[in-house]
Amino acid sequence: MGYTFIGDPSGLELRDQWYYDVGLGYYLTEDILISGYYEEWRSLVEEESNPRDLFFTLNYRFSSQIEFTAGMLFGLSDGAPDYGLSGGVRLKFQAINRPSCRCRSEAAWRREPVISMALQEKFHFGI
């Protein structure tokens, strides 16, 4: 669920856009997740119908740091593409905050929380 503020570009009357999805997922194995969603967005132009679709994904956890994603979409409205493909790779990494002073033992900084981040790149194609 979300909301995007479009702004007021000159010469265009565009609406802000809300969106949501509702879905379920199921782990086939510890590393493979399949999911299905119903998605809808508010159309940017008042005269167009809201894009609505069914989106199905397959996530494969290759390792604790690498995850692959593939998806397929089926449009349900005139505002959505008829079909679509999606794919991506997610890379996770952690940075450990080590103290700059030598006053603490190595065991002490290992107990401190780590900063966890993920980089994700996806591509989408629709017809």
Model pLDDT, residue 94: 67
With contact defined as beta carbons under 8 Å apart, do 55 and 71 qualify? yes
Residue-wise pLDDT tens digits, 65-78: 889 999 999 999 99
Could you give the number of structural domains in the chain?
1
Residue 47 has which token pair? 């005269």
In a domain, 117, yes or no: no
Model pLDDT, residue 23: 96
In a domain, 69, yes or no: yes
In a domain, 104, yes or no: no
- Minimum mean pLDDT range among 74-83, 87-96, 106-115: 106-115
Range of the domain at 64: 2-92
Confidence (pTM): 0.71
User: In Å, how far are 18, 51, 97, 101 from 21, measured between CA atoms?
Assistant: 11, 12, 37, 48
Give the pLDDT band of residue 60 (cuts 50, 70, 90): very high
